[in-house]
Structure 1
């Protein structure tokens, strides 16, 4: 469903899978600076929204997802993964419970498949599963913004809210009247990449497992009971290491293009060792990207990302797994 904010003067549609929202509103760099300093909001209404009401909702989701949810407190936001039986990531959910229902926002276009799977797993439990993406929208706003609907922590200095879709234009106008400008997805993605935060479907592929992405600390509870895909998580954590690891790339700023999603990542000599996930131009760091590479790639070797020279920064340690402590060296976004 195309966002009404695409009708704002200067709005330019983003590329797939985000073509229903704006990439920018004519001033990408200024929008990024404003977002980083708490003076912008981002329309992310192409994301899917799923609601799960019913008295059995938390124990039921606890049995299916990677996160410990049985004692999730109202208003407490968390993340969770739905894994395949072999431990591959099928969905990445941002969750919050409001005391009556669990709300989740997910990647664009994935809510129908998630809802269909969850609906098949209800059996006789007292839960319902609703894909409400047509009625509710996701928007990222400065911390402290008053708005109805569930709230989730997001980029530094921001909060993501789920609001009624028909209320989105009014919220946008109220924010603009208060001096908070719209920022496009390019701004959001640049800051997300700078914070070393992978995005499902862009920085992952069909073989990705939680340890590779650094989601063990945020979206997986290692001491909870059985759930789909748990055997792979436990085996990697206790006995082995994942085959790949997420890296942050500082790209050569003298090149006038960014590598595309899916471009190969090579080491000197031409051997392909991974692929590019997300790439963006950061207003201070310059061109940056996230990539998934083989675990055995030395951490100090220079890479080529889609033919662009790149220096890597560790996000997921090569020693992840085998009961090693995961060290996510997240770099906070610089404030402009």
Structure 2
């Protein structure tokens, strides 16, 4: 059993994927070939943005977006404490300072009340300039933008949606990667929409930001003269082969994979809700189920359960074993665990189960039976 079965997905899409790869090789247009432009147009249309700029990976997408927003030393960038390191590291690499907000334990997403507390703390300390909020659409569910966007407007902050795990999620029909001033996603293979390597994308409705991003992803080159580099950028382009692979995968994602993962989530919840804390999807929200994560009663029970699943050949993962404030790179901040009580609870009790569009009901039965028999 696979945690996220990319092999079975490939078998389902093999003919189309192979044909796309073959066409790229025959064209020899390996950098910014036609499939890249086609993919950018289809992604922008799907999420409801005017522009999409692909790049080398999800981390670069965040960094490029922050660069386009003018983030640098002395700026405060607010993000969730319970997420992958890139949500904060992309600010640190530019000389800015990440500031962490606690989460809502029900959704694992940023707690708007904690966010506002952290903004006010930064304002009172008067050492940093509040600049950008990076809400994370964790595990497939969009963050609480109904609350976060008004907070951003109140304090004059930009919003950068980190949709690395949220691509495909929705709020009342509006797609993830369409919220805030700018948004990003990742095509890491295990993401809801993944390629066969690294890849990422940035979305915006601002034509000037779009042009700036296209320059920044190519070493800051001028649109008129590629050998006139007018600012410092990155070398971060999505390979044509990866774009070609993503085209049939995007079609499958839209046609049936989103429905399939939501059905799998229903199977899990029906079987587990009376014994464990199962994921909460907010009213009007749709998740793309990057992960299906349950909470157990304690770290000891969680660790024991994971070991038991392993002996039965059932993979599971800990997303995440520590909060960002606990990372070695941020020890210098000397942040107390008491400030992040819900993050600490999640790190001790969370357990992510196999989840993908090709998961069969009999597989879910097997996994749930192993959990319930303990």
The interval holding the TM-score normalised by the smaller chain is: 0.3 to 0.5
TM-score by length of 2: 0.33
Higher helix share: 2
Higher strand share: 1
